[in-house]
Structure 1
Amino acid sequence: MMTLATDDAGLDRLDASRVKLRDAAHFRAVIAANEAVARAQQDLRAAVLAAREAGESWTVIGAALDITRQAAQQRFGR
């Protein structure tokens, strides 16, 4: 016999007749923006790695990011 997982959030106790239904557009927009930030962070890491492999200094990378050489090295260094 299969057992269903319990609902720890309490959603199983909601009275659907009393719940105000709302459009989930804002929720989806927040998720999409968060995913875009994660992709941008991955792209930035890849760009910094490529710049370092091409011989760019931490000073140049820091200048491109408008941060100090030390901050760039701390954030992206190995």
Structure 2
Amino acid sequence: MTLTAGLDEATTARLRERIAAAVVEAAGTPGDPAADPEGTLRLVDAARVAAEETSRLLRTSIDGARSAGHRWDAVGAVLGVSKQAAQQRFGSPTAKPGQDAGTGEGGRPRRILTPLTAFDEMEVLEREGRRGWHVVDYGTLYHLVEASEHQWEHLRQPWNPAARRRLEEGGWTLVKSMTFPWGYYKRPLDLPAEP
């Protein structure tokens, strides 16, 4: 069995077929190009959207793998490129622990929590949430938090639209609108921030 990006050949073929089918369906199944020239442009547009989304999914998947502790050489091996090529293309600027990150809405202080991994980030966010800090953005190995007067709770949830709806009904807010493979949620508590 030959592996491609960690997937076997049959899984890779199914994934490619599903992506192609979704693009054709979104374009309205263009027919004969001579009879439906607008259909060919819809197909181009649908393929563009699919390419943008798969590019975003690739980047966030790599961020997730890095947050889970995988090194650049492992990521590069899956992508079929060198460690250096993977890091140059998908790496992000290194954040410094406790770095002042300016101010947010209303002039509230922000700071960067780093280095964080999938193994310790929730414990750190629980502690900082009690102190009134809540997540406003995140990336590979860091969370950007903002100060407030009340405590916050944070949740990491595998990406799932149905779960997102349930959580939002429960008062949770998704930190970023598009997330993969998991999303981070937050909600304020009716308790004053601890010192």
How does the TM-score come out when normalised to structure 1? 0.71
**How far, CA to CA, are the matches of 1:25 and 1:34 in structure 2?**
14
Q: 2:39 aligns with which of 1, 10, 25?
A: 25
1:47 aligns with 2:61: yes
1:36 aligns with 2:17: no
Aligned to 1:58: 72
Q: Which protein has the larger Cα radius of gyration, Structure 1 or Structure 2? A: 1
Give the structure with the higher percent strand.
2
Structure 1 residue 23 displacement after superposition: 3.2
Aligned to 2:81: 67
**How far, CA to CA, are the matches of 1:60 and 1:43 in structure 2?**
18
What percent identity do the matched residue pairs reach? 40
Letter in 2 for 1:57: R
**How far, CA to CA, are the matches of 1:52 and 1:62 in structure 2?**
11
How many residue pairs get matched? 58
**How far, CA to CA, are the matches of 1:33 and 1:55 in structure 2?**
33
**How far, CA to CA, are the matches of 1:36 and 1:54 in structure 2?**
26
Q: Residue by residue, what CA displacement relative to the aligned partner does 1:6-43 show, whole Å, maximum 9, x if unpaired?
A: xxxxxxxxxxxxxxx85311000000001000000000
How does the TM-score come out when normalised to structure 2? 0.29
**How far, CA to CA, are the matches of 2:54 and 2:36 in structure 1?**
30
Letter in 1 for 2:40: H
Letter in 2 for 1:49: D
- SS of equivalent to 1:24: helix
**How far, CA to CA, are the matches of 2:73 and 2:36 in structure 1?**
49
**How far, CA to CA, are the matches of 1:55 and 1:43 in structure 2?**
18
Letter in 1 for 2:88: Q
**How far, CA to CA, are the matches of 1:47 and 1:22 in structure 2?**
37
Unaligned stretches of 5+ residues in structure 2:
1-34, 93-195
